Structure 1
């Protein structure tokens, strides 16, 4: 049985070919959907294709021109920069023609003291959306490959494997700490139950 190496692991050739066919079919499907005529007046698919994940509160606060306070519109997007599932859009103000950066969500600083010593994070600024998705992915017991399959079906840009691992280093120690606390609590509860049973047994004797 022949095997090939894909994304850092060995996989059966038939399984890999099937996965590639499904991936190609999904890409062709979404490409055909985008090329279909639409009644919408605005078309920015040449700048940012597909769907995105937004934090509505952050988006509402960011959709304002930094210069003239005019409300910005995604009709005037001129550029998009992606960082995992987080996007930063460059939107032109129709009033003063100022270029504004609009983020799809919030960002946070990563404190190395909260992570293990060997988990050095080169980039200290992470975004909330990708962090939460990676946390949910690990909590569900799946990895980057399974996540990207889901994102592909949703027509959302995939997450790079190396980027996924970088965010995994942030949330991994948090999950381990929570697991240790849970195990410690379970052990304490079990010890308390055993002691109570011993007390009851001593009374009966």
Structure 2
């Protein structure tokens, strides 16, 4: 039978360990309680991952602290809300610690007027090219951008659909009027040929 010296051993997680090893662990635990890991606390977190569509003029205009008017930077972002290609960043000022919201492009509706934000522009481009929602989503995923959901795409498509339809009607009416004018101008030539 094996003889175990109980004076120099303690149990740690159910197994016998030397007292010196256990004392070292206890010292390490106490040291970590006294002085937290500074590198872990001060390490910046990455809120933004991947690419973004932005309007530089709009972002530059919005990246100013609402309280002290200090210029903010992208490393001040503490939160991001995304609706397809439009982003709203919450930024924290270094000086006064005020939270300010910054939009990546003009908001869709501003003062009752419709603006082309990033989502409207992307959907209009997809409809104009004939690509559609799935192709737009594949492109966005490939370049590591947040993806426009099917529901959001359809909502924007319905909004711009009426504008596209109106432009098509105007174009058809213009073409019909031009055709009518050409027929009136060349009525004698047409009568002779028919």
TM over 0.5: yes
Return the alpha-carbon distance in structure 2 between the equivalents of residues 43 and 143 of structure 1.
38
Alignment of 1:103-114 (within 5 A): 103-109=103-109
Match of 1:13 in 2: none
Match of 1:84 in 2: 84
Q: Which is further off, 182-191 or 55-64? A: 182-191
Return the alpha-carbon distance in structure 2 between the equivalents of residues 158 and 73 of structure 1.
24
Alignment of 1:14-163 (within 5 A): 44-45=45-46, 47-109=47-109, 128-163=117-152
Q: Of the two, which has the highest radius of gyration?
A: 2
For residues 147-172 of structure 1, what are the alpha-carbon distances to aligned partners after superposition, in whole Å with 9 as ceiling and x for unaligned? 01111122111110001001111100
State the SS of the aligned residue for 2:186. helix
Match of 2:28 in 1: none
The Cα of 1:174 is off from its aligned counterpart by 0.2
> Does 1 or 2 have the higher relative contact order (CA < 8 Å, sep 6+)?
1
- TM-score when scaled to structure 2? 0.70
**Alpha-carbon contact 1:92-1:98 (below 8 Å) kept:** yes
For residues 89-146 of structure 1, what are the alpha-carbon distances to aligned partners after superposition, in whole Å with 9 as ceiling and x for unaligned? 1111001111111110111439x9xxxxxxxxxxx98871111111111111121100
2:153 is the counterpart of 1:190: no
Return the alpha-carbon distance in structure 2 between the equivalents of residues 194 and 125 of structure 1.
40
Q: How many residues are matched?
A: 151
The Cα of 1:179 is off from its aligned counterpart by 0.6
Q: Following superposition, which runs of at least 4 residues in structure 1 exceed 2 angstroms of deviation? A: 42-45, 124-127, 199-204
- TM-score when scaled to structure 1? 0.66
Q: 1:197 to 1:169 in 2, by over 3 A?
A: same
Q: Which is further off, 50-59 or 125-134? A: 125-134
**Alpha-carbon contact 1:86-1:127 (below 8 Å) kept:** no
Which stretches in structure 2 are left out of the alignment for 5+ residues? 1-42
CA RMSD of aligned residues (A): 2.7
Return the alpha-carbon distance in structure 1 between the equivalents of residues 129 and 77 of structure 2.
35
